[in-house]
Structure 1
Amino acid sequence: MCGIIGYLGERPVRSVLLEGLRRLEYRGYDSAGVAFFTENGLFVHRVKGKILDLDESLARIEVSGRAPGLGHTRWATHGEPSERNAHPHLDCRAEIAVVHNGIIENYQSLRRELASRGHRFVSETDTEVLAHLVEEALAESGDLAEAVRRALQRVKGAYALAVIWRKDPERIVCAREQSPLVLGLGEAEVFLASDVPALLPWTRRVIFLEDGDLGELSRQGVRLFRLDGSPVRRPLQEITWDASQAEKGGFPHFMLKEIYEQPEAIRDTLRGRLDPESGRVDLSDAALSPEFFEGLRKIFFVACGTSYHAGLVGKYLLEALAGIPVEVDLASEFRYRDPLVDEGTLAVVISQSGETADTLAGLRLARDKGARVLGIVNVLGSTIAREAHRVIYTHAGPEIGVASTKAFTSQLTVILLLALYLGGLSGRLSPERARLLARELVEFPGLLQKLIPKVHPLLKELSEHYFRQENFLYLGRNILFPVALEGALKLKEISYIHAEGYAAGEMKHGPIALIEESVPTVALAPRESGVVYEKMVSNIEEVRSRRGPVLAFGTQGDEHLAGLSTDFVGLPPVSWEISPLLYTVPLQLFAYEMAVRRGCDVDQPRNLAKSVTVE
């Protein structure tokens, strides 16, 4: 996830770009840059760091600019955070500037092809191929809009992009595919941005581009067309949000926005790594190959908090699909015991920030004992990413809310990819089963995108019944036991309600003593879980016989479970391997609505920090 701003008009271009970037910094903050025109031609300036660093750096340069101009704030996906990897990116002649949000899946093959024709690359990014593709297309057409259209016909992946050209300083050309882009219209001026907040200082009249749209912006207005060149019209809308709402995309809190972003985050994490036709997993972006896993006898997951719950899910997946013994450790415990780790061990360390102190210490311990270390992190260039032997990035984008949501489901997605990959290597996972799971996983973001707005109103209504309670039990079995732990953690983190997650079979070993009318039980019981389903039904009956309220999450249409429960939330049937992804999301929404109803600070819950960099 990155932030883009563009402007064409009579205002001071540098001021517009910097103010727009400040309002988009929640989308990325490891590097930033601008491009605009001066009397000497195209001027580009980039820095590693935040918008403040860019502003201070520009203040030391005596340069007056004029529109059009582009700005970009980056959340790194390809190439470490650095000045040379920051946007805008240029062609060979430094006449074309491109800013981009998204992932170009086939950039490696395009880069090799362009390099063979003499193009010079100076960054590690996927974006730079776009500048060179436009450069070649311009040599043929001489028209910027046509050149961008032709270049994008070569591209696979996701993009929101904008392009300016020194020889046509009265145009900006932009395009969208699976990444957001909005245009703003003023009087004899036009804007573009990744999100509405960047536009509000100057206009509330906007056009939201749709996938496959391209736009040609001039002082006279906007011309929209499709990738095949056919014209298209999109409605002009008036934004009524205030600035705070706009920064959150119209949502009242970042946490809710990030819950709704999970389909996109899962899709981005999968992109380029899974072929639904063959079932093959490609982890070459992490430099992973069969040789890295030779002689592997055991896996340790090492993590804290929510990431630890992702590791618990990983134990079920890897043992079932790959047949490899797995242990899961809290990093704060792993680092202070003497784990049996050697060269036949793979230590998988999980951290959203890549800076979690206990997890980093666990990494170093495992590495010193001779283990191979694989990091699963969200922040490119973080300490864990640098110190692990290999790293798989979760392309979740910045997560502003302290309680993790989309970072967790992205971690689950990476772990499922790893399980599919190792299952294929071990031969335990049949090609047919791999293809079925791959197709279901690729289709899952679309299912989730439809489900979230459908189930959200029901969970909001249910929160009205439960928000006064002070104690909850969360029960799950098998692969959904860790999801019960995560659901309970979310509730206690943001609503300050005491909640405990349990393996449902453990209920008779103590927790059943707590059951009474004032202690609701949240039960996860998908009908497609086989014999585990029957056991969960028995547990629910035990709770109900003691007058305990039950909020059950199960398969839609399960009348038996609905009849047993006080309240029932039906979810679509999915495979066992994908069920943690599905059942996590409504639990997040329930915790969110409970916290809102209790008047809690959802995005910044008391006593918690986003990145725990001390013990």
Structure 2
Amino acid sequence: MRTLGGFADPFLAEIAGQPDALRRAAASLLERREELERIREAAVVSRTIVFTGMGSSYDACYPAVNDLAGRGFPAILVDTAELLHFRRPILNGQTLAVIVSQSGESAEIVKLANEIAEQRTRPFVVSITNGLDNDLARRADLTLDTRVGPESGPSTMTFAGAMTILSGVARLLAGDALDTAIDRTRTAAEGAALSAERLLDDPEAFAADLEDWHGGRGIMVLLGRGPARAATEMGALILKESGVMAESLESAMFRHGPLELAGPDMTAIVMATEPETRRLDLALAADLVEIGANVLVVTPDGTAPKGARSVATGYLDRALLSAVSIVPVQLLAWKLAQSRGRRPGEYTKASKVTTRE
């Protein structure tokens, strides 16, 4: 098991610290048993479950929202800026709001929490943050701490930790008994942690290999569907935060026009991890290879079309699969930043916590 020491820089150390972040977040649920029971009680009287966040916190919600909606529960995902300025009337006395924020201090998050507190009929608010000494947690009805600890670079450990807590919350909202929800979340987190440790066995060598595969191509897209969009959206974000232009698209939407960009100057990372659409995603990857794009396919078993590179995650609980499938993207972002003369994980224009809309 790796510690955060002995790495080239803090960003790489934080990437390597994700397996233990998964474990810490899952273990924290045991300490919040009474609070977690309140989620089940609040869900009974809620007509709508709204998940919201910004950046990586928003991306981390994809698996939980897809899981609940797939079981017939009225769960929706809206980024906090849109919710604040255009959709706030849905936050009423019959709403359960799950607000996710690394810091609990982002501009939109703080403003939304303040405005909810002033409503005459307000939703039941569950906050998920890294630590509890923040504006969001102070205004929430129920607070959950990811227990990730300090993180200075783009979201890696906090992304994994938030998804872990969200997986436990989703199980409770779907009707699992408290002990069942906690046990299943801890089992899922341990499986994801072990798989991530395998991919991170020699992170610098793997990152260098991925950079060679990338080959300096000018266009990069990340494609996925359903819960896998947590990895593709967050992957594109972390590449941008590392100074690399990349775009994330839902795989089906990519065929509706953006496919025209495909060719020898394109690198495409296809997350074909969801069983419902695996055949479709592998077919898209095969089409991209045929057109001449450079393609990496991530699947549980390493399956990929001829001519594409593959990465196997192992068969994992889909609630946390994105915490593993994103690892190659994180390592590629780290290496490309380093090779382009940037200090990996260091912001030059943005900041870790966005305090201005």
TM-score normalized by the length of structure 2: 0.90
Cα deviation for residue 497 of structure 1 reads: 2.2
| 2:138 is equivalent to residue 386 of structure 1 | yes
Given that 1:318 and 1:423 are in contact with CA atoms closer than 8 Å, whether structure 2 keeps it comes out as yes
Alignment coverage as a number of residue pairs: 354
| 2:345 is equivalent to residue 613 of structure 1 | no
> Between the two proteins, what is the percent identity of the paired residues?
24
Distance 1:292 1:459, change over 3 A: same
CA distance in 2, matches of 1:447, 1:465: 22
Given that 1:470 and 1:497 are in contact with CA atoms closer than 8 Å, whether structure 2 keeps it comes out as no
SS of the residue 1:380 aligns to: coil
SS of the residue 2:326 aligns to: helix
Give 2:114's aligned amino acid: R
CA distance in 1, matches of 2:143, 2:52: 14
SS of the residue 1:447 aligns to: helix
| 2:348 is equivalent to residue 601 of structure 1 | no
Q: Which has the higher contact order (CA 8 A, sep 6+)?
A: 2
| 2:14 is equivalent to residue 258 of structure 1 | yes
| 2:319 is equivalent to residue 569 of structure 1 | no
Partner of 1:357: 107
Partner of 1:295: 45
Gaps of 5+ in 1: 1-177, 181-247, 275-280
Given that 1:484 and 1:524 are in contact with CA atoms closer than 8 Å, whether structure 2 keeps it comes out as yes
CA distance in 1, matches of 2:5, 2:353: 24
Residue 341 of structure 1 is aligned with which of 91, 95, 101?
A: 91
Cα deviation for residue 455 of structure 1 reads: 6.2
Cα deviation for residue 388 of structure 1 reads: 1.2
Cα deviation for residue 589 of structure 1 reads: 1.4
Give 1:464's aligned amino acid: D
Residue 370 of structure 1 is aligned with which of 117, 122, 143?
A: 122
Cα deviation for residue 516 of structure 1 reads: 1.4
Partner of 1:328: 77
CA distance in 2, matches of 1:366, 1:261: 35
Distance 1:454 1:270, change over 3 A: same
The Cα offsets for residues 12-32 of structure 1, whole Å up to 9 and x where unpaired, read as: xxxxxxxxxxxxxxxxxxxxx
Cα deviation for residue 581 of structure 1 reads: 1.9
Partner of 1:549: 294
Residue 306 of structure 1 is aligned with which of 56, 78, 84?
A: 56
CA distance in 2, matches of 1:522, 1:446: 23
Given that 1:463 and 1:597 are in contact with CA atoms closer than 8 Å, whether structure 2 keeps it comes out as no
SS of the residue 1:453 aligns to: coil
Alignment of 1:152-301 (within 5 A): 249-273=5-29, 283-284=33-34, 288=38, 290-301=40-51
The Cα offsets for residues 398-447 of structure 1, whole Å up to 9 and x where unpaired, read as: 1012x11101110000100101222235x8x9x6x996665343443233
Given that 1:456 and 1:586 are in contact with CA atoms closer than 8 Å, whether structure 2 keeps it comes out as no
Alignment of 1:89-100 (within 5 A): none
Cα deviation for residue 562 of structure 1 reads: 5.1
CA distance in 1, matches of 2:224, 2:192: 22
Cα deviation for residue 518 of structure 1 reads: 0.5
SS of the residue 1:288 aligns to: helix
| 2:238 is equivalent to residue 503 of structure 1 | no
Distance 1:460 1:284, change over 3 A: farther
Distance 1:254 1:286, change over 3 A: farther
Cα deviation for residue 470 of structure 1 reads: 2.6
| 2:157 is equivalent to residue 406 of structure 1 | yes
- The structure carrying a bigger strand percent of its residues is 1
Give 2:255's aligned amino acid: K
| 2:285 is equivalent to residue 533 of structure 1 | no
Partner of 2:328: 586
Residue 484 of structure 1 is aligned with which of 232, 249, 259?
A: 232
Residue 212 of structure 2 is aligned with which of 464, 467, 489?
A: 464
CA RMSD of aligned residues (A): 2.7
Distance 1:259 1:506, change over 3 A: same
